[in-house]
Amino acid sequence: MKHVLILGATSSIARAMASVFAREGAKLFLGGRDLSELEHMAADLGIRYGISVHCGRVDAEDFAAHEKFLENAIGTLEEIHGVVFAIGYLGEQPRESTDPAAARKIININLSAAISLLAPLANILEEQGDGFIMGLSSVAGERGRQSNYVYGAAKGGLSLYLDGLRNRLESQGVKVITLKLGFVDTEMTYGQSGLFLVASPAQVAKLAWRTLQKPSGIYYVPRFWRIIMLVIRMIPESVFKRLKL
């Protein structure tokens, strides 16, 4: 790993991942909405690990500006070997289930922005014949629950998109990794009730790094969520719809 672009870099998970990648000597470009915070992150990582770290502002919902942002990021890095898509937005239930504008925001940030930003990067990696794409998805996308089905639909779509990229790019030498996250202690989940088996961003970052040493595929983070979701998927619909999850 040499040159890595991290999208959504100011999130708790992405911050932890940036530290892990920096420790391994990667040259980083950090993308996010808060340019001031990105600049502080870049300065801190550069001093702490003695590496080159750059940053630039990208708004997931400003699709017209994505191309220019990517041109700047790739031009600054000079070349790119990997990208991490860590942009995410949970939204609020029940408002998002009754308000079309709120629902569109969730879909745009979690799914449409991923396609807009990752599609041109996938083309570059495919042409050069190496590199990786890592997307942070969620176990919420595996089955629709009344508590967060709009968010789940967006993450389910992201997982399917990454599945397609993996199928397309595997033979081209490009690794595509989907991280399906369970509950993580972040700003998005702060104050929510009913959370259990909550992982820390640092734990997620370490596990994410380990997956880069493995083949392309889907990885549950932490791993026990694979078993949990297997059980949830096996619940008959007639029973599931009465669980009020």
Q: What's the CA gap between 173 and 208, in Å, rounded?
A: 19
180 pLDDT band, cuts 50/70/90, is: very high
* pLDDT value at 102 more than 90: yes
* pLDDT value at 33 more than 80: yes
* pLDDT value at 189 more than 60: no
| Percentage of the chain exceeding pLDDT 90 | 74
Q: Is 204 exposed, middle or buried (0-12, 13-18, 19+ CB in 10 A)?
A: buried
Q: Cis omega (within 30 of 0) on the bond before 222?
A: yes
Q: Of residues 194 and 31, which shows the higher confidence score?
A: 31
* pLDDT value at 196 more than 90: no
* pLDDT value at 75 more than 90: yes
pLDDT (mean) for 211-232: 92
Domains, the chain, with CATH or none: 3-240 (3.40.50.720)
Helix count and strand count (H, E) for the chain: 10, 7
Query: How much is the mean pLDDT over the chain?
Result: 91
What H or E segment, with its residue span, contains residue 200?
none
User: What pLDDT shows up at residue 199?
Assistant: 78
User: What pLDDT shows up at residue 17?
Assistant: 95
* pLDDT value at 2 more than 90: no
The three-state secondary structure class of 27 is: strand
Least confident of 35-44, 79-88, 181-190, 203-212: 181-190
User: What pLDDT shows up at residue 191?
Assistant: 40
Q: Which residues contact 142 (CB under 8 A, 6 or more apart)?
A: 152, 156, 180, 229, 232, 233
Q: Of residues 186 and 143, which shows the higher confidence score?
A: 143
pLDDT (mean) for 126-150: 93
User: What pLDDT shows up at residue 67?
Assistant: 97
Q: What's the CA gap between 180 and 229, in Å, rounded?
A: 10
Q: What's the CA gap between 207 and 214, in Å, rounded?
A: 11
pLDDT (mean) for 89-116: 91
Q: Which residues contact 13 (CB under 8 A, 6 or more apart)?
A: 86, 136, 181, 184, 186, 201, 204, 205
What H or E segment, with its residue span, contains residue 28?
strand 27-32
pLDDT (mean) for 70-80: 95
User: What pLDDT shows up at residue 160?
Assistant: 98
117 pLDDT band, cuts 50/70/90, is: very high
